[in-house]
Amino acid sequence: MNEINTDNIKSQMRKGVLEYCILSILNNNDAYASSLISELKDAKMIVVEGTLYPLLTRQKNQGLLSYRWEESQQGPPRKYYAITDKGRELLAEMDSAWIEIVETIALIRNNKK
């Protein structure tokens, strides 16, 4: 029971920052969905790969990112995602929010000690 709870909390935390992660990755480089997946998986941000697609679609609809079709190494063209200006604005906000959270938590933890 206890274990399930910690898992649950972890996944809740991941959920909160998943979209932030996607925007961050795209801010560095434009990418295929597959490379996004591999990066997120390496970072243990997602467990099942299907998770990414609803998020990408949603962010695209919000105008945070766009895509173009590009030939992939497998042959058929695949969507090649890039962050938009609106996405960058949001990312900047998220960055500052993130720093704030990290600092706050550090503060709380230090006080505890």
Partner 1 sequence: MKKVVKVSIGNLAFTIEEEGFLIIKGYLNELHDHYDTKENGQEIIEGIEERMAELFVEKCGANNVVTSSAIKEVISILGRPDVIDEEQSYSSSTTSSSYKNKIPKRLFRNPDNKVLGGVCSGLAAYTSIDTTLVRVLFVLLFIGFSFFGLMHVGGGGFMIFAYIVMWIAIPEARTVEQRCAMYGEPLDLNNFQRQMESGFNQAGKGIRRAGREGVEAMSAIATVISKIVSVFLIVISLGGLIFFSFLFLGVEIFKDVVPVDFLDYVNIGIENPVYLKIAFLCMIFLPFIGMLYGGIHLLFGFRPQGIRPGLIIFILWIISIFTFGILATKASRPFWSDARSEQEVVINDKYDTLYVKFESSTGVPSSRVMLNAGYSDYTLFWMEGEKNSQQIVAFPHFKIVRQSKEEGSLLIGRTDSHSYTYSEALAKAQKNLPSYEITDSLITIKPNIYSKQNKFDATFQQVMLYIPEGVKVIVTSPIEHDFERRIERDWIFNCDRNRRYDDRWEGRYYDFKERIERKKDRIERRFN
- 46 touches partner 1 (CB under 8 A): yes
Q: Give the C-alpha separation, 61 to 70, whole Å.
A: 20
- 66 touches partner 1 (CB under 8 A): no
Contact with partner 1 (CB under 8 A): which of 47, 101, 105, 106? 47
Q: Give the C-alpha separation, 30 to 66, whole Å.
A: 10
Longest Cα–Cα distance of the chain, Å, equals 56
Nearest C-alpha neighbor of 99 from the set 10, 6, 24, 15? 24
Q: Give the C-alpha separation, 52 to 50, whole Å.
A: 5
Contact with partner 1 (CB under 8 A): which of 24, 27, 79, 94? 79
- 110 touches partner 1 (CB under 8 A): no
Rg of the chain over CA atoms, in angstroms?
16
- 1 touches partner 1 (CB under 8 A): no
In angstroms, give the least distance from the CB of 105 to partner 1: 18
List contacts with partner 1 (CB under 8 A): 4, 7-8, 11-12, 14-16, 18, 33-34, 37, 46-57, 61, 72, 74-76, 78-79
